[in-house]
Amino acid sequence: MFAVRRRTAFPPTAPAFPTRFVKINSGGHVKYFDFEIMGLKRKLPFVQIGENLALASFVVLSDTELIQTVAPELMKRLPEVDVLMTAEAKGICLTYEISRLMGMKDFVVARKSRKPYMQNPISHSVFSVTTQKEQTLWLDGCDADKIRGKRVALIDDVIATGESIEAIESLARSAGAEVVARAAILAELQSVHRKDIIYLKEHYVFRPNPDGTYTPIDKLD
């Protein structure tokens, strides 16, 4: 069995988190959420992605220090696996580092568009909380052959509604893989209560308030 860290959902009356204002060159202000994980501190900018929805944007693509810090801890929590699988783009650097630490020669990436090199690809559509749009994930037939009959761990940066990780899992199962773990750095929304995922820290989705503050929410309307 793999370890799962559970958290308590925010009550409806949860207070708005404080924000920090940082001047930018345009003369405006950017509001940041003070974030910490495994001793590392980051200022995550609030980004409004809908009328009543905002994120404290967690982007790991270029954060070498953070990836090298969290990857060993996630690796320790994984069960025995044969292959790691992720979806582009933000999960790639994390999956690379975990695969390197595990001594693997490669890993599998589901793409967000069908590429000319793909032979007999399989696909699955999913709604993304981050982009607020439907996306289709594609898996090359050669990669499908690589994971067929293998024990696969699915890796992502954040698991929120769970739809993205479920799309990756659908591709893996369609290819004949056995999915034995689902792991991410952060969990959001209802996913913090899931017993079938591995994550290191709870993160928040927010409702923007008229006074410029943000209130954490534990589910989407």
Q: What does the pLDDT profile of the chain (221 residues) look like in tens digits? A: 333 333 333 333 334 445 444 333 333 467 899 999 999 999 999 998 888 899 999 999 999 999 999 999 999 999 999 999 999 889 999 999 999 999 999 999 999 889 999 999 999 887 665 556 778 899 999 999 999 999 999 999 999 988 889 999 999 999 999 999 999 999 999 999 999 999 999 999 999 988 888 899 888 87
For each of the domains in the chain, give its residue range(s) and CATH number, in order of start. Answer: 20-58+203-217 (no CATH), 64-202 (3.40.50.2020)
169 contact partners, CB below 8 Å, separation of at least 6? 154, 179, 182
Encoded amino acid at 14, one letter: A
Rounded to two decimals, the pTM is 0.83
Residue 87 CA: distances (Å) to CA of 12, 159, 161, 180: 33, 12, 16, 17
Contact (Cβ atoms closer than 8 angstroms) between residue 171 and residue 147? no
Q: What is the distance of C-alpha 28 from the center of its chain?
A: 30
User: Alpha-carbon distance 27 to 32, whole Å?
Assistant: 16
User: Alpha-carbon distance 32 to 115, whole Å?
Assistant: 37
Residue 105 CA: distances (Å) to CA of 96, 101, 130, 152, 180: 10, 10, 31, 14, 20
